[in-house]
Amino acid sequence: MPSIYQPKTAVILAAGLGLRLRSVIGEVPKGLLEIQGSGLLERSIQLLSSYGITKFFVVTGFQHQMLESRLQEQLRGTHLSFVHNQQYASSGSMESLATMKGQVQEDFLLLESDLIYERRALELLLEAGQPDTVLTSGQTNSKDEVWIYGEPRSGKGESLELGRIRYINKQPSSEFALRGELVGISWLSTDLFAAMCDYHAANKPRTLQYHYEENISDLSAEREISYLKIPDLVWAEIDMESHYRRVLNEVYPRIQARENTEISAELAYS
């Protein structure tokens, strides 16, 4: 079960152009891509709701009116707020996140819009009960990985690892040990969020095209920012057609199999 202390708010970054996925989805925001009849954002928000998240901020950019109307239709009754990044075509995800300054006043879960993942990702992150934690996994072989390097503090049971982040990048580090692959789900405190926004504002235009994880990487030199590694987590980011095919043929069937097993186990004990 999630810890008693947990965020009730989620911020989802959905401003990207999705250029590498146009062959699959055309000029439609990536978060609206459907897998087995359910949109990525629709599914993610429903999962978050099932774990006690009640307020959702979606940062929009490309085709924002389409995204907003579709989500409002799919998720009637959900507390959705939309914030538009007007510089979406020339900036990175950190600029999208910075548009939330002054909008969110509490700890929140930060997610990317183009993810598909098993519910255990949220369960274990919330169960850990530790803000300023970035979720990581074992290697997915997606060919577009972002790596997290750092120092383990402790193992949690046999399957989880908690540690301190030292470096995040697609390029290898010769200084720190590889600890896992960035998933795209994090738990940020208001303090870290403020520090990220301040750092971004103070270092523009250099950081204008930064992604939020590059900002975290820079700040991790001075701040204690954690990773939680779930080595066998089943998930994928869908950035290009090969990712989409992999999800259809491999990732989503594995997620379904795990969810069906969990449902069967719950029924057996009910």
Reading phi first (left if > 0) and then psi (alpha if -120 to 50, else beta), residue 84 is in: beta
Asked whether the beta carbons of 114 and 31 are under 8 A apart, the reply is yes
**How confident is the model over 110-138, as a mean pLDDT?**
97
For 46-66, how does the pLDDT look when each residue is reduced to its tens digit (9 = 90+)?
A: 999 999 999 999 999 999 999
Q: What radius of gyration, in Å, describes the C-alpha atoms of the chain? A: 18
pLDDT at 158: 60
Counting Cα atoms < 13 Å in the Cβ hemisphere of 187 gives 24
**Residue closest to 12 by CA, chosen among 47, 258, 203:** 47
For 114-125, how does the pLDDT look when each residue is reduced to its tens digit (9 = 90+)?
A: 999 999 999 999
State the alpha helices, DSSP H only, in 176-251. 190-202, 212-219, 241-246
The residue ranking higher by pLDDT, 265 or 101, is: 101
pLDDT at 83: 98
For 154-193, how does the pLDDT look when each residue is reduced to its tens digit (9 = 90+)?
A: 766 568 999 999 999 999 899 999 999 999 999 999 999 9
**Residue closest to 92 by CA, chosen among 112, 122, 66, 78:** 112
Asked whether the beta carbons of 108 and 33 are under 8 A apart, the reply is no
pLDDT at 65: 98
Asked whether the beta carbons of 58 and 12 are under 8 A apart, the reply is yes
Give the chain's mean pLDDT.
94
Q: Is the pLDDT score of 80 beyond 60?
A: yes
How many CB atoms sit inside 10 A of residue 222's CB?
8
Per-residue three-class SS string for 147-180: EEEEEEEEEECCCEEEEEEEEEECCCCCCCEEEE
Cis ω for the linkage preceding 205 (within 30 of 0): yes
pLDDT at 156: 60
CATH superfamily of 9-269: Spore Coat Polysaccharide Biosynthesis Protein SpsA; Chain A (3.90.550.10)
State the alpha helices, DSSP H only, in the chain. 22-25, 40-50, 64-74, 93-98, 120-128, 190-202, 212-219, 241-246, 252-269
Please tell me the distance from the alpha carbon of residue 132 to that of residue 216, in angstroms, as a whole number: 10
Counting Cβ atoms within 10 Å, is residue 67 exposed (0-12), middle (13-18) or buried (19+)? buried
Asked whether the beta carbons of 238 and 247 are under 8 A apart, the reply is yes
Domain residue ranges in the chain: 9-269
**Residue closest to 149 by CA, chosen among 125, 173, 130:** 173
Q: Is the pLDDT score of 1 beyond 90?
A: no
Asked whether the beta carbons of 29 and 17 are under 8 A apart, the reply is no
